[in-house]
């Protein structure tokens, strides 16, 4: 299922980049986000970590030349560090349930922040939301209506 979602995400990302000229935070990101659409706490955490990474890049960009590959590497590094911290800090156990505001993956926040630096945070998140929902819908169609198919 993971492979299918990522493949659909890559195809849909390429179609949307060609059609609208905007990326959804990298071509692999929508597939991973599509798999997390049933976990709102993880999505909130991902948006917070991506926004924090984006804002950190903005601050660093005021003092250094941060473009191209250098920006990509710094975005991935900062996003990974924040994601690792979020897996340990933004995890709350309550009496009824567990709230996990950690990021989705380690490189996803950095990829989103990198593309947000190029085209704006709102545009990037909007494209990511649209494509992720479409990818999730396509995965549901392939698995005959099962929203959470058995992975094993």
pLDDT averaged over every residue in the chain: 89
pLDDT, residue 38, reads 87
Q: Would you say 82 and 53 are in contact if contact means Cβ atoms under 8 Å apart?
A: yes
Domain ranges of the chain: 2-142
pLDDT at 91: 75
Which are the contacts of 7, defined by CB distance < 8 A and separation ≥ 6? 31
At residue 152, the pLDDT reads 41
- pLDDT number for residue 77: 96
More confident call, 148 vs 15: 15
In contact, 53 and 74? CB cutoff 8 Å: no
Tokens 């939301």 — which residue? Answer: 129
pLDDT tens column, 109-131: 999 999 999 999 999 999 999 99
Q: Check residue 111 and give its pLDDT.
A: 94
Q: Is the dihedral of CA 124, 117, 14, 81 positive or negative?
A: negative
| Average pLDDT of the residues in 1-23 | 92
pLDDT (tens digit, 9 = 90+) per residue, 64-104? 998 889 999 999 999 999 999 988 887 777 777 777 778 88
125 CB neighbour count, 10 Å cutoff: 19
Give the per-residue pLDDT at 90.
77
Query: What is residue 150's predicted lDDT score, i.e. its pLDDT?
Result: 56
């Amino acid at each position: 299922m993971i492979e299918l979602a990522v493949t659909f995400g890559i195809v849909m990302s390429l179609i949307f980049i060609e059609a609208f000229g905007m990326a959804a935070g990298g071509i692999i990101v929508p597939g991973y986000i599509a798999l997390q659409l049933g976990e709102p706490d993880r999505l909130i955490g991902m948006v917070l970590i991506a926004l924090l990474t984006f804002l950190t890049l903005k601050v660093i960009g005021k003092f250094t030349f941060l473009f191209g590959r250098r920006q990509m590497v710094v975005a991935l590094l900062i996003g990974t560090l924040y994601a690792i911290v979020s897996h340990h800090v933004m995890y709350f156990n309550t009496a009824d349930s567990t709230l996990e505001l950690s990021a989705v993956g380690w490189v996803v926040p950095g990829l989103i922040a990198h593309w947000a630096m190029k085209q704006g945070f709102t545009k990037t998140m909007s494209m990511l939301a649209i494509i992720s929902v479409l990818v999730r819908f396509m995965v549901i169609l392939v698995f005959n209506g099962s929203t959470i198919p058995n992975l094993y």
